[in-house]
Amino acid sequence: MTTTGFLENKLLLAMPTMGDQRFERSVIYMCSHDASGAMGLVVNQVIAHLSFEDLLEQLEIDVGIDAPDIPVHAGGPVEPGRGFVLHSADFAQDSTMIVSQTLALTATVDILKALADKTGPSRYILALGYAGWGAGQLEREVQGNGWMIADADDEILFNTEPDLMWPRAMAMLGIDIAMLSTEAGHS
């Protein structure tokens, strides 16, 4: 836990005991967390059937013929039609939420246009939807062995293939995933 007890700017790593298939082997970057609840983005689940170009077309954003090939992630089950971009802090708009010294979150159409014309942030993860928790809910899930907590790591977030994020983040904590059990232990 952080010194405040809140998990903003941390990674949540789903444990085998999670019990919610939507979050199996998930890595969630925590964008905000306070006494009223928490919000994060699943960063390791790519939507296979949706391209960035398809998304721009649905939003009627014209980028010409040179749209970059940007993966679209399933950021979580809450508001799956709403887009979010977790990105490096080298880009900011009035609506950008600064999460840490190096990371920010923007949820406007303008950032999609900036990504399309390559004037946006240098590093980013585009996600539809988010993971949300009510007051005390995330704390109970952590206490119930549903999640491991790791420091946010730019290498894992921006330079690791999505299917390798979870095992690499677990290894960063010194956990051998082959030794993990699906049974929760409580003392």
Task: Give kind and range of the element (H or E) at residue 56.
Answer: helix 52-58
Burial class (CB in 10 A: 0-12, 13-18, 19+), 111: buried
pLDDT of residue 4: 55
Q: How far apart are CA 149 and CA 15, in angstroms?
A: 10
Q: Where are the domains of the chain?
A: 10-179
Q: Candidates 3.40.50.2000, 3.40.1740.10, 2.30.110.10, 3.40.449.10; correct CATH number of 10-179?
A: 3.40.1740.10
pLDDT of residue 187: 46
pLDDT of residue 5: 67
Q: Which tokens in the block code for residue 18? A: 């999670």
Indicate the pairing of strand 124-134 with strand 71-74: parallel
Q: Which residues contact 7 (CB under 8 A, 6 or more apart)?
A: 1, 30, 33, 38, 138, 142, 149
Q: How far apart are CA 38 and CA 104, in angstroms?
A: 16
pLDDT of residue 3: 43
Predicted TM-score of the model (pTM): 0.90
Segments of the chain scoring below 70 in pLDDT: 1-5, 64-65, 181-187
pLDDT of residue 48: 92
CA dihedral 42, 46, 50, 52 (to 10 degrees): 80
pLDDT of residue 2: 40
